[in-house]
Amino acid sequence: MTIDAVVPARNEAPTVADVVMACRGCTYVREVLVVDDGSSDDTSERAAAAGAKVIRLDPGGSKAHAMEAGVAATDADAVLFVDADCLGLTSAHLDDICAPFADGRAVMSLGTFDYGIWNPLVLRMPHTTGERVIPRWVFEAIPPEKLDGYTIETVINEVVASRHLKTSARVMKGVSHRTKRDKFGLVKGWQLTWKMFWALVRLPLRGVVRGRYYLNYLRSLTVEK
Ligand SMILES: Nc1nc2c(ncn2[C@@H]2O[C@H](COP(=O)(O)OP(=O)(O)OP(=O)(O)O)[C@@H](O)[C@H]2O)c(=O)[nH]1
Ligand SMILES: [Mg+2]
């Protein structure tokens, strides 16, 4: 079973190298692919210097399309997706994510950011975290029309939940990320955050994902200590 890490990254120069190093140190990861479409900073250069294979795409895509390009560029059996803007992420966090998957205890295994007292709740909400390992067939099972921007993680959840497959979730202790407010400033940052939040909330309302699968998802979910 081979696992490659796929890191979608656009303008993540401050953090991408640390994320690549964490992925490279993960026991289960063979190769690290960073997919950059249209960064105006030196994200690609820093990723390559840290040891990643960099895939550059034309600007104008989305996170989902970057993930798709990463999956297409590898022949690995499974893909560990990792966002390039994580803070405090270590190889040990990624090992913890991969272990239940590699042991066959879960078809999807993921880590959530550390939200302190909110962790028990966050662990049982539909997960939108970018740090997760899945077999490549799960990604390839997504209908092309559902490959869209920031809603991709919820669509992955649906592929897993509709087949009653097991998910394993844990908190990545001490891990957070540079938020859109950090990247774009308060006004534009909040605008973009609300836009993303609204896109997620509307998914079941628009019929893109089925709310009833959430129950399947919870039934097949193991929360790891
Ligand atoms: N290649 C590529 N990467 C992207 C694109 N959009 C987002 N990403 C990357 O996907 C990861 C997650 O994106 P963020 O914008 O941080 O989204 P988020 O973490 O879900 O949202 P926030 O909570 O607001 O930070 C980061 O590594 C981004 O650089 C894109 O259009 N192309
Ligand atoms: Mg982020």
Shortest CA distance to 154 belongs to which of 142, 144, 163?
142
Q: What is the pLDDT of residue 17?
A: 98
Domain with 14, as residue range(s), is 3-223
Measured from the CB, is residue 184 less than 6 Å from ligand 1? no
Q: How far apart are the first and last CA of the chain?
A: 25
Q: Please tell me the number of the ligand nearest to residue 179's CA.
A: 1
pLDDT at position 116 over 90: yes
Mean pLDDT of 87-106: 98
**CB of 37 shorter than 6 A to ligand 1:** yes
What is the number of the ligand 1 atom nearest to the C-alpha of 35? Answer: 1
| Ligand 1 pocket check for 10: Cβ under 6 Å | yes
Is the pLDDT score of 207 beyond 90? Answer: no
Ligand 1 site, residue 110, Cβ cutoff 6 A: no
Residues contacting residue 179 through CB under 8 Å, at least 6 positions apart: 189, 193
Q: How many domains does the chain have?
A: 1
Tens of pLDDT, residue by residue over 150-184, are 899 999 999 999 999 999 999 999 999 999 899 98
Q: How far apart are CA 142 and CA 157, in angstroms?
A: 10
Q: What share of the chain has pLDDT > 90, as a percent?
A: 82
Q: How confident is the model at residue 197 (pLDDT cuts 50, 70, 90)?
A: confident
Measured CA to CA, the distance from residue 192 to residue 194 in angstroms comes to 5
Query: From the CB of 176, is ligand 1 less than 6 Å away?
Result: no
Task: Answer whether 5's CB lies under 8 Å from 80's CB.
Answer: yes
Nearest to 138 by CA among 86, 67, 52: 67
CATH number at residue 126: 3.90.550.10
Report the candidate in 41, 179, 29 with the shortest Cα–Cα distance to residue 98. Answer: 29
The closest-lying atom of ligand 1 relative to the alpha carbon of residue 180 is 24
Least confident of 112-121, 186-195, 197-206: 197-206
Mean pLDDT of the chain: 95
Question: What is the per-residue pLDDT across 55-72, written as a single tens digit (0 to 9) for each?
Answer: 999 888 899 999 999 999
Q: Is the pLDDT of residue 196 over 90?
A: no
Pocket lining: 131 vs ligand 1, CB cutoff 6 Å: no
pLDDT value of position 209: 87
User: At which residue do the structure tokens 């497959």 appear?
Assistant: 165
Q: Candidates 6, 10, 20: which one to mutate for ligand 1, based on the most atoms within 8 Å of Cβ?
A: 10
Which of 57, 33, 30, 59 lies closest to 47 in space, CA to CA?
Answer: 33
Nearest Cα residue to atom 31 of ligand 1:
62
Place 149 in a pLDDT band, splitting at 50, 70 and 90.
confident
Q: Which ligand 1 atom is the nearest neighbour of the CA of 192?
A: 24
The β-bridge partners of 195 are: none
Q: Is 193 in the pocket of ligand 1 (CB under 6 A)?
A: yes
Q: Is 223 helix (H, G, I), strand (E, B) or coil?
A: strand
Distance between CA 110 and CA 101 in Å, rounded?
9
Number of Cβ within a 10 Å radius of residue 206: 10
Task: Please give the Cα distance from 28 to 99 (Å, whole number).
Answer: 8
Residue-level pLDDT at 201:
85
For residue 148, give both structure tokens. Answer: 């869209």
- In the predicted model, is pLDDT for residue 206 greater than 90? no
Binding site membership of 68 for ligand 1 (Cβ less than 6 Å): no
pLDDT of res. 21: 98
pLDDT at 111 over 90: yes
- State in Å: Cα 193 to ligand 1 middle: 11
Angle at 117 between CA 204 and CA 88, to 5 degrees: 90
**With bands split at pLDDT 50, 70 and 90, how would you rate the model's confidence at 28?**
very high
